[in-house]
């Protein structure tokens, strides 16, 4: 039986006395590709930040790779790409090379060059990250996540600023990494991408309103009741469009 990479039991997180997410149960096993979707403010990023020890749960427990979060120390197994909207300090003086190697500066130069090549940013390696466009910065951050070759990849809206070609490269790459055993958790508004690549979908609206395969989601009477038939069809149709655009993993 595959190892449990993430286990969340009865998680509730409150901010100023109000529950942002509540009663969350979640298990992600080694090799899974989980897509997390939900509307704005549904608690997707909050859930991930609780799992990654950035926020402290108000209630419930979290285990990573079988260890309680409070005792977990194998952070090298996790690659996380946060949602970044203008969060980067405009004056930050780090070069692309320095940022790529954050937290793991002893990378093999060939690996660095390889991952820079995959993201199409070899020519930017000595540039300051603050001088790059948002799309280029996002590619640098993706490269910095991928170079760690983590066992668990967690992406929070990773491709919002990327051109379609780089976006496709990114999802193909993460899809291949998943096939080779890397566990992937992807937060995105783009349910088409989830339908195309993820094996499981978790739909959040402060609590879990759906957990299962995308196919089940599209035919679930509960989800028809929640979204209405038209919206549910639209979400599933987006998946079809993504299916026509991409070649690969399904």
Residues that bind another protein (CB under 8 A): 15-16, 49, 52-54, 73-76, 78, 80, 82, 84, 87-89, 91-95, 98-99, 102-105, 128, 131
Q: Cα torsion for 5, 39, 42, 88, to the nearest 10°?
A: 80
CB of 152 to another protein, least distance (A): 11
Q: Tell me the CA distances in angstroms from 137 to 114, 153, 217, one per residue in order.
A: 17, 19, 34
Helices (H), 52-163: 96-100, 109-118, 134-146
CB of 140 to another protein, least distance (A): 11
Q: Are strands 152-156 and 78-81 parallel, antiparallel or unpaired?
A: parallel
Question: Closest CB to another protein among 81 and 198?
Answer: 81
Among 245, 84, 248, residue whose Cα is nearest residue 155? 84
Question: Closest CB to another protein among 98 and 168?
Answer: 98
Question: Closest CB to another protein among 122 and 209?
Answer: 122
CB of 154 to another protein, least distance (A): 8
CB of 95 to another protein, least distance (A): 5
CB of 167 to another protein, least distance (A): 22
Rounded distance, CA 210 to CA 184, Å?
18
Rounded distance, CA 122 to CA 132, Å?
13
Question: Closest CB to another protein among 15 and 25?
Answer: 15
Among 65, 70, 132, 71, residue whose Cα is nearest residue 97? 132
CB of 113 to another protein, least distance (A): 18
Question: Closest CB to another protein among 70 and 73?
Answer: 73
Question: Closest CB to another protein among 93 and 164?
Answer: 93
- HSE at residue 173, side-chain half, CA atoms within 13 A, is 20
């Amino acid at each position: 039986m595959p190892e449990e990479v993430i286990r969340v039991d009865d998680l509730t997180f409150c901010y100023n006395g109000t529950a942002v997410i509540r009663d969350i149960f979640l298990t992600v096993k080694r090799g899974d590709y989980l897509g997390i979707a939900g509307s704005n403010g549904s608690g997707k990023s909050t859930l991930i930040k609780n799992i990654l020890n950035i926020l402290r749960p108000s209630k419930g427990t979290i285990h990573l790779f079988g260890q309680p979060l409070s005792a977990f120390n194998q952070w090298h197994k996790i690659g996380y790409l946060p949602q970044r909207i203008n969060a980067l300090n405009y004056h930050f003086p780090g070069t692309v090379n320095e940022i790529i190697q954050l937290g793991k500066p002893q990378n093999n130069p060939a690996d660095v060059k390889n991952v820079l090549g995959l993201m199409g940013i070899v020519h930017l390696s000595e540039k300051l990250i603050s001088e790059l466009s948002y799309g280029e910065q996002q590619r640098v951050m993706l490269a910095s996540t991928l170079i760690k070759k983590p066992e668990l990849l967690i992406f929070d809206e990773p491709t919002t600023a990327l051109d379609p070609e780089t976006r496709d490269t990114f999802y193909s790459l993460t899809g291949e990494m998943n096939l080779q055993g890397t566990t992937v958790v992807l937060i995105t508004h783009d349910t088409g991408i989830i339908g195309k690549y993820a094996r499981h979908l978790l739909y959040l609206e402060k609590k879990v309103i759906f957990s299962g395969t995308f196919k089940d989601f599209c035919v679930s009477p509960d989800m028809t009741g929640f979204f209405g038939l038209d919206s549910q069809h639209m979400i599933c149709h987006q998946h079809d469009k993504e299916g026509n655009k991409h070649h690969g993993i399904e």
